[in-house]
Chains A and B, each alone.
Chain A
Amino acid sequence: MYEKDGEKYFVVDGHTHFWDASPENWVPGQEQYAKGWIECFHAYQSLGPPETHWSIEQFQKYPEDMMMRHLFEEGHVDVAIFQPTYLKQWYRNGFNTTEVNAALAERHPGKFVVNTRWDPRDGDDGLKELADNVARWGCKGVKLYTAEWRGDSRGWSLKSPEAARYLEKCQELGVKNIHVHKGPTIWPLDKDAFDVADVDFAATNFPELNFIVEHVGLPRIDDFCYMATQEPNVYAGLAVVTGALMHARPRFFARVMGELMFWLGEDKLVFGADYAIWEPRWQVEGFVDWSMPTDQEFADYAQLTTQAKKKILGLNAARLYDIKVPAELDLPVPAGPEGAEPLAAPASI
């Protein structure tokens, strides 16, 4: 919980990790990719405030007590959602797996939501593993990374019939939140790997599932916005938007927030600090303090209300994951589509 100027914010960090990218975990022969991956993440951290930068050694692998302190003691987070990323082709035990995340979560009851993942290239075995993970840890969400390498394959698409089988399974198991993270590779490589058309396709075919597009579709915010405005079950995960832009590029941050509020609105945006790339504290505090610049250049954009900030920082994610919000931290009228007008394409500019 974060309190500022008499307002109390229930904070759900929608995007967190407990990873191991230390050299001991690199797969022999794949070291360059394992190293390249974590160095790329580390460069993103440099876009946050200097006092929050870590050494690369610390960043490769960090202790549990440090993560707990950064999130819950210093970072104002009430509940954090683990989003696994396996990358077993490069990291022996995986980069950030359901098992490791869940073990940490079990040591700290009530602090975490444990999401799992799937990859359509795993076939029937993967379907079984998904069901087992859901039975064991009660997962209500999955994180999908379409750019993951597997053997010679450089990725996959949510349009594939194999992916549809997994989405059907999610529906059957009550795994209703599908987080999608795009990366730079996919099959075939001549297509734009960041294209969100496959999310559009899946969201249309599975209206009972929620699709949370991580990093607001970056670097395709425009395509994402046009898609999301037409799909009632598509949400924007703000991880990277606050982390990479709010400090380093505040005017771009303002514009991106303005666009997201215009096309999607305050009920569809979900905060995520993207730990350990960025610590939540400066992002939560900065977001609460933030206001749209008032100069002419930003005249098209509405100000974010306190109510909108409360929804984005926690109440929207709490709704998606059925997280109980203490009454004094909730809005007088519960957030959510039940209490709001259905979102249609904006009628005016």
Chain B
Amino acid sequence: MIGAAADQAAALTAAVWSALHQVRDPELDEAVTDLGFVAGCRVSDTGEAVVRLRLPTYFCAPNFAFLMVADAYDAVAAVDGVHRAEVVLEDHFASNEINGGIAARAGFVQSFDGQAVAELHELRADFLRKAVMAGTDRVCRPLLAAGATADELAGFTLGDVAASVDRERLISRRAELGLPAGDGDPLLIDPATGAAIGAHALPLHLRRAQTTRVSVDANAGVYRGLLRERYRTTEEKGR
């Protein structure tokens, strides 16, 4: 490849990688790039992108896997300059169904003929609500450590919290769910209804937010360990 073409391919690869950084594991609420799920990403100077995804185990839940591959396809295909996108999931029991379904732009029900009765919007929303709960703990914990009382937190708006990665992430997840996400909206809301959490319900709400975060973080920890082992082993075998 000569100079200009190589530069073009490199620029497109960077753009595709950046697009993949916006794709999250819906269960863990982390970017697939940070989790190590992108096994390969190649873009030609003419805009043909091939992305290979991998997961921590052969038996990872097929519904979450499908969402990730579909989201990755959408993200890559939307990159300016990409004319053809191919996203495949490797080493998974349902690779054929998922890859075939994504390539055909079929939904989950069609891809898993007879095994599914609905698309995955509800599943995604359920896990976004968990992300809101876990994010609530991330934002509130430092406030409580700094001396804020539960009563004070009940009166806080999103705008009362100093800017941080965790705050922006919480706002973004709330917005995705169509929940109140403006600076003037309450910091603490019920992720199912969007209603503000009153002072009396706040201790239990915060306790549940903490438990959700512990659960998600523990899972992410286990999955990272499994992914490391899975691909360390096969690479050692000279794959």
Contact = CB atoms under 8 A, between A and B. Distances in A.
Q: Are these two chains actual partners, yes or no?
A: yes
B116 A188 contact: yes
Chain A's interface size range is 35 or more
Interface string B105-146: 000110010111111101100100010010000000000010
Interface stretch (B3-11, B40-48, B52-60, B190-198): B52-60
A222 B214 contact: yes
A37 B116 CA distance: 23
Contacts, number: 130
Interface string A178-211: 0000011101111111100000000000000000
Interface string B181-215: 00000000000000000000001101110111011
Contacts of B208: 222, 226
B123 A190 contact: yes
Given A189-B63, A189-B116, A32 B93 contact: yes
Interface in A299-349: 300, 346, 348-349
Interface residues of B, number: 48
Given A46-B225, A190-B119, A225 B211 contact: yes
Nearest to A56: B233
A36 interface: yes
A121 B116 CA distance: 18
B130 A222 contact: yes
A218 B218 contact: yes
Nearest to A245: B218
Contacts of B145: 296
Contacts of A154: 115
Interface stretch (A10-18, A122-130, A160-168, A247-255): A247-255
Contacts of A262: 207
Contacts of A189: 62-63, 108, 112, 115-116
Contacts of B118: 188, 190
Contacts of A185: 59, 61-62
Nearest to A39: B58
A231 B114 CA distance: 34
Nearest to A255: B214
A349 B59 contact: no
Contacts of A188: 115-118
B129 to A, nearest CB: 11
Contact of A33 (B56, B60, B93, B130): B93
Given A189-B115, A221-B214, A244-B225, A43 B230 contact: yes
Contact of A252 (B27, B59, B203, B217): B217
A256 interface: yes
Contacts of A80: none
Contacts of B226: 40, 43-44, 46-47
Interface of B: 27, 56-63, 93, 108-109, 112, 114-120, 122-123, 126, 130, 133, 145, 203-204, 206-208, 210-212, 214-219, 221-222, 225-226, 228-230, 233
15 contacts: A39-B58, A39-B230, A40-B57, A43-B229, A47-B226, A183-B59, A185-B59, A188-B117, A188-B118, A189-B115, A218-B218, A222-B215, A255-B217, A255-B218, A259-B215
Interface of A: 32-33, 36-37, 39-40, 43-44, 46-47, 152, 154, 183-185, 187-194, 218-223, 225-226, 244-245, 248-249, 252, 255-256, 258-259, 262-263, 296, 300, 346, 348-349
